[in-house]
Amino acid sequence: MPVNLTANAIAAIDAGDVNAKPLVQVLDIKLIGSSQERYRFLLSDAVATQHAMLATQLNDRVKTGRVRRGSVIQLIEYIGSTVQKRKIIVILNMETIILDCDVIGNPSVLELDSLPEKPLSSGPRPSINNSVAGAQNLSRTSYNNVKTSSSLNQGGNMQSFRPTVQPSYQPPPNYKNHGAIMRNEAPARIIPIAALNPYQGRWAIKARVTAKGDLRRYNNARGDGKVFSFDLLDSDGGEIRVTCFNAVVDRFYDTIEVGKVYVISKGSLKPAQKNFNHLNNEWEIFLETTSSVDLCPDEDTSIPRQQFSFRPISEIANAESNSILDIIGVVVTVNPSVPIMRKNGMETQRRILNLKDQSGLTVELTLWGDFCNREGQQLHDMVEAGIFPILAVKAGKVNDFSGKSIGTISATQLFINPDSAEADSLRNWFDRGGKDTASHSITKDAILGGMKNETRKCLTQIKDEGLGRSDKPDWIAVKATVSFIKTDSFCYTACPLMIGDRQCNKKVTKSGNSAWLCDRCNQEFEECDYRYLLQVQIQDYSGMTWVTAFQEAGEEILGCSAKELYVWKNEMQDDLKFLEVIQNCLFREFILKLKIKEEIYGDEQKLKITVVKADKLNYSEESRFLFDSITKRHVTTY
Amino acid sequence: MDTSNPAAFVNAELLRMYVGRRVRAVIQVLRNDGGSIFGKSTDEQELVIKGQPPNPLTTFVEVIGIADSNRSIQAEIWTNFGDNFDVSSYNTVCQLANGDFKHLFI
């Protein structure tokens, strides 16, 4: 049953009313846009019509058919915009009221001119709609759609936007690309950052600088250049990054200060580069020499200083590797800063600390470079003094090398004891007992977290059940006693250089008489690392077998590092100490997680068993495990 | 090794089955009076252990002796078991050792 559309809705929006939330009808929907999908609606209020652009976050509504031609919709959030004297509505939020409806009223569709369009991009025009090809087909409501695609120049240069809708009965305007155009110089209205888009006529935003990037110089095929970026936050919580190149850098670099509020206008909007820009905005502002940046000296308390969206540590365990997020937690441990050699030969600092939050989980946070000496040192001193500060991290990167951990990137910002509700509640929780609750690290355990419940088997089952013979290795857990360790060769010389987050660890060879050479990193260095490569014989009640243990398992079994053992044996000739260490671990029981795989060596099949993890027995847990086995197997006879 | 007089694993509830016989139990020390101690059995009930407790005495102690009532043991052997002990596991052992698996123990 036809409903009444809001009378004069179109005129009202054109006059600047953005609060009326009118009912309008969608007469047409067209998909346009060369780099990005954009939908353009033709809206009617039963009398007048106007084009409207749908914000990309609503694209799904068209794709899933929740709004179609004929739908009656209510505009919830929208802006009227003028681009080169054409009026366009930008729809930021809408609701479909009636999905299918005949055309209501008698809307007069504006006549389109058949202005031959000057192609602005030299590339081929992407074909959007089959109906456009037959451009001369006049439909019942009599309008043509002339090629619209390349008018949305992805360069975002406002001057070259050529919409095809024109006010009726006017001779086609004769705009060229570079003509002198009279512009309305009245100050633009301040709009929320969330409403910014390249189709906005003139805009101005008022926001606080939350981060200012470094001035970076670069050199590419086009020559030298310099660039810097800064991030803005407005009172609605909208955020956007602003970038300046070359001459524009000189104009604005010194003016911009973190924490101050500015009114910015006359920049251009382009799609944000998601690789570097982690703000929640699909656009990025590029300032030109004609842009204006005005400092607001009055303190605007409606604009927050920083905006975070903290994730609890429990969610990080499931976060995607390399994703960027904000976290907040209590700093429970701070390790010393260590120099790390990067692959390019440059040395940097790394410091690892642990954060804990109300979920009882801890996560490792790796600080790189300057963070180690600045915030890292400060945090270290505080923890040494017994104060456990709250640390908020903005834009940390998730790493999944060993469980999940967070690392700093150049865009990261650290805040010690920030003034926020989350910080206060963390402080309260920690001081009132959170400090003593058991912590479980998502960084260490998680490497086997998913596999924590390996099936427990006895050693003879490995052979009996033919483990390791299929294409994939078998993973089991055994409780076994170490009965022998081969001591002639218990470690190897390893490459200490870092490749990204991990150590290279490849075996290195001696080059010359004092240096070591790594083939993978192609570098030489004085000091190599020593890593365990142990051949261990283990036994349990059923039988025995040989296994190989690497660094972490080796350290757990022997109780000291490979380097220490190496020094005792080879350099200090302290055989006694060496033997003592070995003896101490013999006949000790461990829970060993084994990876079993049969491999072909030459023409022989050999079973390779590696200790992935070695754990000392936790008697309580083990008792419970045994009780469980007892009750499972035992059938009560009375 | 003299296996003629084995001590049965007991908690407070099982103690009454062995009055007059040799038992062993792990007790959490609540009060030490010198000549006897008041302790909590692994099933959370109070027992009196008579004899000469060792000095020092840790929080948990194993006593082996004769049950002289259903609430007390005359201890001959005392062994300090430290300050950390998994009471519930021991209690389960007592139950299994006197139940389905008694034949393995006595």
Question: Tell me: the pLDDT tens digits for A109-133?
Answer: 754 433 334 444 444 444 444 433 3
pLDDT 10s digits, A383-438: 888 888 999 999 888 887 667 889 998 778 899 988 888 888 888 888 888 887 77
Closest to A335 (Cα-Cα) out of A351, A315, A356: A351
B 72-91 residues with CB < 8 A to A: 86, 89
Task: Check: pTM over 0.90? Answer yes or no.
Answer: no
Whether B96 has its CB under 8 Å from any CB of chain A: the answer is yes
Residue numbers in A near B100 (CB within 8 A) = 634, 636-637
Q: How close B9 comes to chain A (CA, Å)? A: 16
Residue A515 has pLDDT above 90, yes or no: no
The pLDDT score that the predictor gives to residue A301 is: 78
Q: How close A613 comes to chain B (CA, Å)? A: 25
pLDDT 10s digits, A172-181: 556 555 555 5
On whether the CB atoms of residues A240 and A192 are closer than 8 A, the answer is: no
Residue A168 has pLDDT above 60, yes or no: no
DSSP strand pairing (A49-54 vs A86-98) = parallel
Report the distance separating Cα A27 and Cα A37, nearest Å.
19
Residue B67 has pLDDT above 90, yes or no: yes
Q: Do A623 and B86 touch (CB under 8 A)?
A: yes
The pLDDT score that the predictor gives to residue B105 is: 87
User: If you measure CA to CA, which chain A residue comes closest to B86?
Assistant: A620
Mutate to test the interface with B, among A619, A625, A633, A638 (most CBs of B within 10 A): A619
Residue numbers in B near A619 (CB within 8 A) = 86, 89
Residue A105 has pLDDT above 90, yes or no: no
On whether the CB atoms of residues A628 and A634 are closer than 8 A, the answer is: no
The pLDDT score that the predictor gives to residue A287 is: 92
CA A571 to chain centre: 47
Q: How confident is the model at residue A153 (pLDDT cuts 50, 70, 90)?
A: very low
Q: Do A620 and B100 touch (CB under 8 A)?
A: no
Least confidently predicted of A262-276, A488-502, A603-617? A488-502
Q: How close A628 comes to chain B (CA, Å)? A: 11
The pLDDT score that the predictor gives to residue A523 is: 80
The pLDDT score that the predictor gives to residue A2 is: 57
Residue A147 has pLDDT above 50, yes or no: no
Q: Concatenate the DSSP letters of all residues of A127-141 into one string.
A: P--HHHHTTT---TT
User: If you measure CA to CA, which chain A residue comes closest to B84?
Assistant: A620
Highest mean pLDDT among A176-190, A434-448, A516-530, A580-594: A580-594
Rounded to the nearest integer, the mean pLDDT of chain A is: 80
Whether A623 has its CB under 8 Å from any CB of chain B: the answer is yes
Whether B2 has its CB under 8 Å from any CB of chain A: the answer is no
Backbone angles phi, psi at A438, to 5 degrees: -65, 140
The pLDDT score that the predictor gives to residue B87 is: 92
The pLDDT score that the predictor gives to residue A134 is: 38
Q: Do B92 and A627 touch (CB under 8 A)?
A: yes
Query: What is the share, in percent, of chain A residues with pLDDT greater than 70?
Result: 84
The pLDDT score that the predictor gives to residue A173 is: 59
Whether A106 has its CB under 8 Å from any CB of chain B: the answer is no
Q: Do B89 and A627 touch (CB under 8 A)?
A: yes
The pLDDT score that the predictor gives to residue A251 is: 86
Task: Determine the average pLDDT of the residues in A183-187.
Answer: 60
Q: Do B89 and A624 touch (CB under 8 A)?
A: yes
Residue numbers in A near B92 (CB within 8 A) = 623, 627
Beta strands in A335-447 (DSSP E): 338-341, 347-356, 361-368, 390-399, 405-416, 440-441
Tokens for A584, please give them.
């101490």
On whether the CB atoms of residues A481 and A589 are closer than 8 A, the answer is: yes
Query: What is the share, in percent, of chain A residues with pLDDT greater than 90?
Result: 15
Please enumerate in sequence order all residues whose Cβ is within 8 A of that of A349, keeping only pairs 6 or more positions apart, or say none.
A337, A338, A339, A340, A367, A368, A369, A372, A373, A376
Report the distance separating Cα A635 and Cα A121, nearest Å.
81
Please enumerate in sequence order all residues whose Cβ is within 8 A of that of B59, keeping only pairs 6 or more positions apart, or say none.
B28, B29, B82, B83, B85
Backbone angles phi, psi at A628, to 5 degrees: -60, -45
Q: Do A636 and B89 touch (CB under 8 A)?
A: no
The pLDDT score that the predictor gives to residue A636 is: 58
Residue numbers in B near A636 (CB within 8 A) = 100
Q: Which amino acid is at A123?
A: G
Nearest to A620 among B89, B96, B100 (CB): B89
The pLDDT score that the predictor gives to residue A185 is: 59
Residue A165 has pLDDT above 50, yes or no: no
3-state SS, residue A455: coil
Residue numbers in A near B102 (CB within 8 A) = none
User: If you measure CA to CA, which chain A residue comes closest to B92?
Assistant: A627
Nearest to A620 among B86, B96, B100 (CB): B86
Mutate to test the interface with A, among B42, B81, B85, B89 (most CBs of A within 10 A): B89
A106 against A542, higher pLDDT: A542
Residue B5 has pLDDT above 80, yes or no: yes
DSSP strand pairing (A223-233 vs A204-212) = antiparallel
Residue numbers in A near B89 (CB within 8 A) = 619-620, 623-624, 627
Residue numbers in B near A630 (CB within 8 A) = 96
Residue A500 has pLDDT above 70, yes or no: no
Whether A635 has its CB under 8 Å from any CB of chain B: the answer is no
Closest to A309 (Cα-Cα) out of A288, A283, A335, A280: A280
pLDDT 10s digits, B14-65: 999 999 999 999 999 999 887 889 999 999 999 999 998 888 999 999 999 9
Whether A618 has its CB under 8 Å from any CB of chain B: the answer is no
Least confidently predicted of A93-102, A449-458, B58-67? A449-458
Whether A633 has its CB under 8 Å from any CB of chain B: the answer is no
User: If you measure CA to CA, which chain B residue comes closest to A635?
Assistant: B100
In Å, how far are A203, A332, A350, A487, A545 from A372, measured between CA atoms?
41, 16, 6, 39, 46
A562 against A573, higher pLDDT: A562
The pLDDT score that the predictor gives to residue A109 is: 72
Whether A619 has its CB under 8 Å from any CB of chain B: the answer is yes
Whether A636 has its CB under 8 Å from any CB of chain B: the answer is yes
* Beta-carbon pairs below 8 A across chains A and B: 15
Nearest to B89 among A623, A634, A637 (CB): A623
pLDDT 10s digits, A573-593: 778 888 888 999 999 999 999
Q: How close B42 comes to chain A (CA, Å)? A: 15
User: If you measure CA to CA, which chain B residue comes closest to A634?
Assistant: B100
Q: Do B96 and A624 touch (CB under 8 A)?
A: no
Q: How confident is the model at residue A182 (pLDDT cuts 50, 70, 90)?
A: low
The pLDDT score that the predictor gives to residue A178 is: 55
Residue A571 has pLDDT above 90, yes or no: no
DSSP, res A194: G
Whether A634 has its CB under 8 Å from any CB of chain B: the answer is yes
A222 against A550, higher pLDDT: A550
pLDDT 10s digits, A24-56: 999 999 888 767 788 999 999 888 889 999 988
pLDDT 10s digits, A591-631: 999 999 888 888 888 899 999 899 998 888 899 889 888 88
Backbone angles phi, psi at A388, to 5 degrees: -110, 100
Whether A385 has its CB under 8 Å from any CB of chain B: the answer is no
Residue A562 has pLDDT above 90, yes or no: no
In Å, how far are A159, A399, B106 from A123, measured between CA atoms?
19, 40, 93
Whether A632 has its CB under 8 Å from any CB of chain B: the answer is no
The pLDDT score that the predictor gives to residue A184 is: 57
Highest mean pLDDT among A27-36, A247-256, A271-280, B40-49: B40-49
